[in-house]
Amino acid sequence: MRLSTAYAYEQSINNLQNRQQDLSRTQGQLTSGKRVNLASDDPTAAARAERALASIARNDSDKRALDASRNAMGIAESALGDAVELLQSARETMVAAGNGSYSDGERDALAKKLVEIRKQLLSIANRPDGSGGYVFGGQGLSDTPFTEVSNTAPGTVQYNGQRGRIQASSSEQVSLTVDGQRTWMQGRDEQGNLVGVNVFDALTSAIAGLQQSNATSTDLRATVNNGLKDLDKVMGNMQAARAEVGEALNRMDGIESRIGSLKLAAQNEKSNAEDLDMIEAISRFQGQQAGYDAALRSYAAVQKMSLFQYIG
């Protein structure tokens, strides 16, 4: 009878190593809580998890862009609300200026009130967004969007930006700025069409009319009527811009909910692809431990085998 101790020894070593690798792999899974720690563990599941992780990253990026847009549009909505209140005050001032019993000095005092309103509106038009830009910066610029061209106050105001708005880097359509040209440098007629009247010129004309000395009643009526028409046009445009910004803010609630749902779905997909079933893994680990112990005993038995032991 021949006894191949070398073959038996090799087989027991291979069996012991395989069981040790299985035990080590399961132990690593239990430690990490992941069924897939390396792509080689399950290439298909690893690819699924990688795609889900990329989706989560996109959702996080979209959420950051949404938060930035919400902040900018919140500032814009507040600024437009302030502007509408000032324009309403300017309109009330123009109505008061129509009082025929007012003296030149009283009308001049009203004109000075309009000058202050105009200054405040210019400040609002240049309101920063809190991140180094300007809410009404249009396509974006590093300097203030609106500046006085003339040194004589009130002079002509020009818009330094480009028409349009900056869109956030996101799969959703959200903006980081408002079109300053359209908001401040135009008005709307009774039909809602955009016209060339702008906020600052409307007030400049009204101020100049009220500062006339010895104005006739006809001139005064023309000043008041034209001033009210111009203010109504720019106020209508400002209110429309505010409504548009408000609508964008309302739409963001739905976008945030959608981003949250997509992220949750991606997280679930990632979990399904790589997470470990702890109960199954513990049971498997216990079985592998028993198998490893048996392999150790078998290896110990083979080590004792020799020709002399067989003869004895």
Give per-residue pLDDT as tens, 82-126.
999 999 999 999 999 988 888 889 999 999 999 999 999 999 999
First to last CA, the chain: 14
- The total of other beta-carbon atoms located within 10 Å of residue 110's CB is 20
- The total of other beta-carbon atoms located within 10 Å of residue 264's CB is 12
Q: Strand, helix or coil at 277? A: coil
Residues 87 and 180 in one domain: yes
For 225-260, give one letter per residue: b (16+ CB within 10 A) or e: eebbebbbbbbbbbbbbbebbeebeeebeebbeebe
Q: Strand, helix or coil at 193? A: coil
Q: Report residue 28: phi and psi, to 5°.
A: -65, -40
Report the half-sphere exposure of 72 (CA within 13 A, side-chain side).
Answer: 27
Residue 132 lies in a domain: yes
Residues 287 and 252 in one domain: no
Residues 144 and 186 in one domain: yes
Which stretches of the chain drop beneath a pLDDT of 70? 1-33, 35, 38, 151-154, 275-288, 290-312
Q: If we measure between CA atoms, which residue out of 83, 86, 71, 181 comes closest to residue 128?
A: 71
Q: What is the CATH number of the domain that holds 256?
A: 1.20.1330.10
Q: If we measure between CA atoms, which residue out of 174, 186, 132, 181 comes closest to residue 159?
A: 181
Residues 97 and 198 in one domain: yes
Residue 263 lies in a domain: yes
CA–chain centroid gap for 17, Å, is 54
- All residues at 6 or more sequence positions from 269 whose CB lies less than 8 Å from its CB, including other chains: 48, 49, 51, 52, 55
Residues 173 and 145 in one domain: yes
* DSSP H or E stretch at residue 31: helix 5-32
Q: If we measure between CA atoms, which residue out of 282, 190, 284 comes closest to residue 236?
A: 190
Q: What is the structure's pLDDT at 37?
A: 72
* Cα angle: 306, vertex 308, 309; to 5 degrees: 65
Residues 165 and 20 in one domain: no
Rg, the chain, Cα only: 39
Rounded to an integer, what distance in angstroms lies between the CA atom of residue 231 and that of residue 90? 8
Residue 38 lies in a domain: no
Residue 49 lies in a domain: no
Residues 141 and 18 in one domain: no
Q: What is the structure's pLDDT at 94?
A: 94
Contact 174, 66 (CB under 8 A): yes
Residues 147 and 290 in one domain: no
Q: What is the structure's pLDDT at 2?
A: 46
Q: What is the structure's pLDDT at 131?
A: 85
Q: What is the structure's pLDDT at 285?
A: 59
Residue 218 lies in a domain: yes
Residues 230 and 306 in one domain: no
Dihedral Cα 70, 72, 74, 79, nearest 10 deg: -170
Instruction: For the chain, give the mean pLDDT.
Output: 83
Residues 202 and 292 in one domain: no
Contact 100, 220 (CB under 8 A): yes
Residue 35 lies in a domain: no
Q: Work out how many domains the chain is built from and give that number.
A: 2
Q: Strand, helix or coil at 100? A: coil
- The total of other beta-carbon atoms located within 10 Å of residue 219's CB is 12
Q: What is the structure's pLDDT at 216?
A: 85
Residue 34 lies in a domain: no
Q: Strand, helix or coil at 213? A: coil
- Long-range pairs, 40-46, Cβ under 8 A, ≥24: 45/273, 45/274, 46/273, 46/274
Q: Give residue 283's domain range.
A: 1-26+279-312
Residue 227 lies in a domain: yes
Residues 285 and 252 in one domain: no
- All residues at 6 or more sequence positions from 1 whose CB lies less than 8 Å from its CB, including other chains: none
Residues 98 and 230 in one domain: yes
